[in-house]
Amino acid sequence: MKKLLFIFVVTSLFACKQINRSNALEQNQNFDQYKANFINNLWDLYPNWASSIGFHKSDSILTIPDETQRNKEIAFAKSQLDSLHLFNLDSLNNQNKTDYYLIENQLKSSIWNIEKFKSYQWNPSQYNVSEGFAEIINNSYGDINEKLLAVKARLKMVPTYYEVAKKNIVNPTLEHTALAIDQNTGGLSVFQSDLVQALAKSSLSTSEKAEINRLSQDAISAIQSYCLFLKDLKNEQPKSFRIGKELYEEKFAFDIQSNYTAEGIYQKALAHKKDLHQKMYALTLQLWPKYFANEKCPTDSLVAIRKMIDRLSIEHVQPAAFQAEIEKQIPTLVQFIKEKNLIYIDPSKPLVVRKEPAYMAGVAGASISSPGPYDKNGNTYYNVGSLAGWDSETAESYLREYNKYILQILNIHEAIPGHYTQLVYANQSPSLIKSILGNGAMIEGWAVYTEKMMLENGYGNNDPAMWLMYYKWNLRSTCNTIIDYSIQVKNMQKDAVINLLTKEAFQQQAEAEGKWKRATLTQVQLCSYFTGFTEIVDLRTKIQEKEKEQFDLKKFHETFLSFGSAPVKYISELMN
């Protein structure tokens, strides 16, 4: 009897397992289907978002930002959440699990934005049609005549769009009002220049062109009328641009998706700044005799560090050699990573270094342009700016900022093994969800983490000057978090912000002023670099402590990146 029972139990367990396995397969297939539907519905509801990432099916539609649209968005989010919650998370594979979390976060965040954050009322710069038109006119996809017909249909909706915008606005912040006027005025050039040029190139009939011109004039008038409305607005009780603790914590949770609270990461950043200052002072003392043999080192540690940084910043390339120097460093980085066995770099996908295209001109330095999710065969470029035509004073100041040390760190961050390498890995586990809703804190955190990791492994030959400059660079993302939180939550004033950035983060006045402005116009995004970085370092420490001598850095990096651009907290869960 007992034996029989035992056999019975075993077989039923086995059967049960079989059912679960096929059930899991089915669940994952169903989930893939759900995701495809979700994206289709998403693009129906947000055609302008679709168009901005290269899905051009609905270019002819301009979404009118009225209450009907907001109600549709809320209804969509709620019904999608219901369908999403029918899936059993445990039965989904890792790719789908992280996609599930990203979708859920996106939907909850859109409800929160409409019902609680309400920036559609207080942020007039949210209303701006020019960028969408520029995207359609200037992208390399599609036939020019077809694009212009989409533009024509879209132009018809511009006057209504701005009338609705005017109705939405209630006690806007002064900062976002000024920004809206600036950006909408600046955007007029899309109609006055880009569209005019596109029309000249097209073979549409004369009457068709005249019609588009007429509609474009109406659009220009609507934009100008919106700017006038904002200028004349009686705004006796403007809302503060500071969103306060409650909204900040909530926005942080949605935008960063971290295990830390905003306050927690702020505290961590304060401690990190202190630690960096101590390390920088020790390095300064070590370097002092080499650079200032006949001078006494200042007793104020911050003053001493500043003096050493200024001295090292003189070491930079000449303006004409700027691009060549960046290009030269890429193979050096690849070689170093191979020698030290830090991460596998797919040799079939070399980075295409190019001079920055004309429409990017003026922004020197370097940046990555990656093809959108709907342009799979597009190249990924490393755009390198030129300093040609800059006056010598501006060029000198820029080159001191991107001196011989920082330029190498910039290459690590932007290219290898930073953003570019992460992108190559993300493309190997393709997820449309992650390329649309990918986590910014993970992406930035990885790039910031690789700077530290490269130096730890001996990049720069452990030169104390290299470390000092790295710490200065790292102070930037650390202080981004400190000031963002302090401004938005703790009422920090402009003087104090500028003082902190120039005295304690060793920044130039212009950079500090720019940062202040950015922090009055955005919230939370400035925390993404330091939060992602901290969480990746935390995760590595945890796994290192667990695996001890077994710990393999290369394997850690490759496993970490294999999850794609998912929030670090979920990658941590899956890796532990």
How does DSSP classify residue 58? T
Cα end-to-end span (Å), the chain: 43
DSSP β-bridge partners for residue 368 = 382
Q: Which is nearer to Zn ion, 150 or 447 (CB)?
A: 447
Q: Does 137 bind Zn ion (CB under 5 A)?
A: no
Instruction: Write out the two tokens for 551.
Output: 């710990």
Q: Which is nearer to Zn ion, 347 or 389 (CB)?
A: 389
Q: How far apart are CA 362 and CA 508, in angstroms?
A: 19
Among the listed residues 557, 326, 571, the one whose alpha carbon sits nearest the alpha carbon of residue 421? 557
**Least separation, in Å, of the C-beta of 318 and Zn ion?**
8
Residues 276, 505 contacting (CB under 8 angstroms): no
Residues 6+ apart with CB under 8 A from 88: 27
**Least separation, in Å, of the C-beta of 487 and Zn ion?**
21
Among the listed residues 405, 235, 191, 241, the one whose alpha carbon sits nearest the alpha carbon of residue 315? 405
Q: Which is nearer to Zn ion, 227 or 441 (CB)?
A: 441
Q: Which is nearer to Zn ion, 444 or 535 (CB)?
A: 444
| Residue 377 φ/ψ, nearest 5 degrees | -90, 0
Q: How far is CA 275 from CA 298, 309, 519, 537, in A?
A: 20, 17, 24, 15
Q: Which is nearer to Zn ion, 65 or 319 (CB)?
A: 319
Residue 61: left if φ>0, alpha if ψ -120 to 50, beta else—which one? beta
Q: Interacting stretch for Zn ion, rule CB under 5 A, among 211-219, 275-283, 423-431, 440-448?
A: 440-448
Q: How far apart are CA 66 and CA 314, in angstroms?
A: 55
Q: How many residues belong to the site for Zn ion (CB under 5 A)?
A: 2
Q: Contacts with Zn ion in 307-366 (CB under 5 A)?
A: none
Q: Site for Zn ion (CB under 5 A): which residue of 447, 455, 479, 483?
A: 447
How does DSSP classify residue 357? P
Q: H-helix or E-strand containing 384?
A: strand 381-384
**Least separation, in Å, of the C-beta of 179 and Zn ion?**
23
Q: Contacts with Zn ion in 24-83 (CB under 5 A)?
A: none
**Least separation, in Å, of the C-beta of 400 and Zn ion?**
6
Residues 413, 501 contacting (CB under 8 angstroms): no
Q: Which is nearer to Zn ion, 195 or 415 (CB)?
A: 415
Q: How far apart are CA 560 and CA 565, in angstroms?
A: 10
**Least separation, in Å, of the C-beta of 451 and Zn ion?**
10
Q: Interacting stretch for Zn ion, rule CB under 5 A, among 127-135, 264-272, 437-445, 564-572?
A: 437-445
Q: Interacting stretch for Zn ion, rule CB under 5 A, among 84-92, 256-264, 342-350, 438-446?
A: 438-446
E strands, 198-302, are: none
**Least separation, in Å, of the C-beta of 419 and Zn ion?**
6
Q: Which is nearer to Zn ion, 12 or 508 (CB)?
A: 508
**Least separation, in Å, of the C-beta of 471 and Zn ion?**
18
DSSP β-bridge partners for residue 354 = 383
**Least separation, in Å, of the C-beta of 446 and Zn ion?**
9
Q: Which is nearer to Zn ion, 447 or 519 (CB)?
A: 447
Among the listed residues 471, 484, 523, 516, the one whose alpha carbon sits nearest the alpha carbon of residue 498? 516
Q: Which is nearer to Zn ion, 373 or 440 (CB)?
A: 440
- 71-83 per-residue burial string, b: 16 or more CB within 10 A, e: under 16: eebbebbeebeee
Q: How far apart are CA 35 and CA 244, in angstroms?
A: 35
Among the listed residues 25, 101, 110, 29, the one whose alpha carbon sits nearest the alpha carbon of residue 76? 110
Helices (H), 357-457: 392-401, 404-414, 419-428, 432-437, 440-456
Residues 51, 136 contacting (CB under 8 angstroms): yes
Q: How far apart are CA 399 and CA 387, in angstroms?
A: 9
Q: Interacting stretch for Zn ion, rule CB under 5 A, among 32-40, 123-131, 199-207, 442-450?
A: 442-450
Q: Which is nearer to Zn ion, 48 or 450 (CB)?
A: 450
**Least separation, in Å, of the C-beta of 493 and Zn ion?**
29
**Least separation, in Å, of the C-beta of 59 and Zn ion?**
30
**Least separation, in Å, of the C-beta of 528 and Zn ion?**
9
Q: Which is nearer to Zn ion, 131 or 310 (CB)?
A: 310
Q: Interacting stretch for Zn ion, rule CB under 5 A, among 17-25, 91-99, 220-228, 436-444?
A: 436-444
Q: How far apart are CA 475 and CA 54, in angstroms?
A: 36
Q: Which is nearer to Zn ion, 444 or 451 (CB)?
A: 444
The residue of the chain with the least Cβ separation from Zn ion equals 447
Q: Interacting stretch for Zn ion, rule CB under 5 A, among 201-209, 439-447, 455-463, 510-518?
A: 439-447
Q: Which is nearer to Zn ion, 255 or 444 (CB)?
A: 444
**Least separation, in Å, of the C-beta of 316 and Zn ion?**
6
List the 366-369 sheet strands across, edge first. Answer: 352-355, 381-384, 366-369
**Least separation, in Å, of the C-beta of 259 and Zn ion?**
21
Interaction site with Zn ion (CB under 5 A): 444, 447
